[in-house]
Amino acid sequence: MNYFEPLSIVIDEQSVQQVQQLIENSNQILITTHLSPDGDALGASLGLYHFLKLKKKNVRLMVPNSFPYFLKWMAGTDEILIYEYNPKAAKIIFEHTDLIFSIDYNIPKRVGNMASLLENSDAKKVLVDHHLFPGNIYDVVISHPEISSTSELVFRLLYQAEKYNEIDKTIAECIYCGMMADTGGFTFNSNNPEIYLIISLLLRKGINKDRIFSLVYNNLTEDRFRLLGFTLSQRMKVFPELHTALIWLSLEDQKQFSYNKGDTEGFVNYPLSIKDIIFSAFIREDEDLVKMSFRSQGTFPTNEFAARFFHGGGHLNASGGEFYGTLEDAISFFENSIRLYTEELKNTIK
């Protein structure tokens, strides 16, 4: 049986060649991804990391800050360097790197305090990402906002470089996890038929997709599960005429349920389960800012909304931003903001 289904060429061939050349010419490679790494950020980074290790390259993976416990099953997570824990060591690593990959983010600002190390580095830089507006510090830019996950792009990069045979089960698991995470388990941004060709190619590497789903989504702690119930029953406001629902959590609420980083991951998706709700927002009070998360169904541009009102951005149906002020102010500012989108919200249907 021929395992090579015909995937179309997405990444331009010249970029694929250039990346291969850069890898070949490098002695020390550093893979980086964005603040509060999610499933796609880690899946894509680890997929590439394991591939380069198989190629006997000296490679490290550095993330700005820690990541949620339900991603720690992926092989290699215990080798990830966390910038925040040791910025001095991080600086030395940047100085001894000749090739840097920026995975799943578009501009240096998205790596927080790590940004200046990235910007000031003399190393060659490669971007592999699916957000709009790639930055201008890169030697090679592989930027495809039409592709639903960066993990899919990493697969395509390896596939187009004719390395499918070298992808092992570990690499395939990481890539699958990322593709799954950025599509909510293939429930949004997931209508491209080629996604399923790629899944088929990954399954042939021996991955257990059902187990991966459970490890990520059926792995809530009791506290986290109760926090979800509390949020939906006690901290939700629905605006039926605007097809919008809002959930929020104060620091006090989070403390009550022994909140850990990542515990509210995915919460913002739940209000979209309500009939006729096409826009969902989650407002979470943090130590020094208020974090905003947005999800939509259909054409409502959450990224435009996030950029206009909350210094943020992202994808059409999934984006985020920040608010500087009290939680109460963030909530009322949000309510005023959606009123400015009354026509768009009213006219979007599921």
Q: Which is nearer to Mn ion, 40 or 344 (CB)?
A: 40
* Interacting span for ligand 5GP (CB under 6 A) from 13-21, 142-150, 190-198, 312-320: 312-320
Which of 20, 291, 347 lies closest to 162, judged by CA? 20
Q: Which is nearer to ligand 5GP, 26 or 293 (CB)?
A: 293
Contact between 144 and ligand 5GP per CB under 6 A: no
Distance between CA atoms of 280 and 213, rounded to whole angstroms?
Answer: 23
Q: Are 283 and 296 spatial neighbours (Cβ–Cβ below 8 Å)? A: no
Residues 42 and 74: beta-carbon distance below 8 Å: yes
Does position 344 interact with Mn ion (CB under 5 A)? The reply is no
| Residue 314 in contact with ligand 5GP, rule: CB under 6 A | yes
By CB under 6 A, is residue 148 in contact with ligand 5GP? Answer: no
Dist CA 282 CA 348 (whole Å):
20
> Residue-wise over 222-249: b if at least 16 C-beta within 10 A, else e?
eebeebbeebbeebbeebeebbbbbbbb
Smallest gap, in angstroms, from Cβ of residue 151 to Mn ion? 8
User: At its nearest, how many Å lie between Mn ion and the CB of residue 200?
Assistant: 22
**Stretch 170-199 residues interacting with Mn ion (CB under 5 A):** 182
Q: How many other CB atoms are there within 10 angstroms of residue 215's CB atom?
A: 17
175/181 Cα distance (integer angstroms): 10
Which residue has the closest beta carbon to Mn ion? 40
CA distance linking residue 104 with residue 110, whole number of Å:
10
* Under rule CB under 6 A, residue 293 binds ligand 5GP: yes
Partner that binds at residue 224, options Mn ion, ligand 5GP, none, CB closer than 5 to 8 Å by kind: none
Q: Can residue 247 be called a binding residue for ligand 5GP (CB under 6 A)?
A: no
Q: Which stretch binds Mn ion (CB under 5 A): 64-72, 90-98, 150-158, 204-212?
A: 150-158
Q: What is the DSSP string of 273-300?
A: GSTT--EEEEEEE-SSSEEEEEEESTT-
Subset of 78-137 contacting ligand 5GP (CB under 6 A) = 131
From 20-28, 39-47, 110-118, 260-268, give the range in contact with Mn ion by CB under 5 A. Answer: 39-47
Q: Which of 29, 30, 40, 188 binds Mn ion (CB under 5 A)?
A: 40
CA distance 112 to 83: 10
Choose the contact partner of 68 out of ligand 5GP, Mn ion, none; CB within 5 to 8 A by kind. Answer: none
Q: Is 223 in the site for ligand 5GP (CB under 6 A)?
A: no
Burial classification of residue 171, based on how many CB atoms lie within 10 Å of its CB (0-12 exposed, 13-18 middle, 19 or more buried): buried
Residue number of the CB atom closest to ligand 5GP: 320
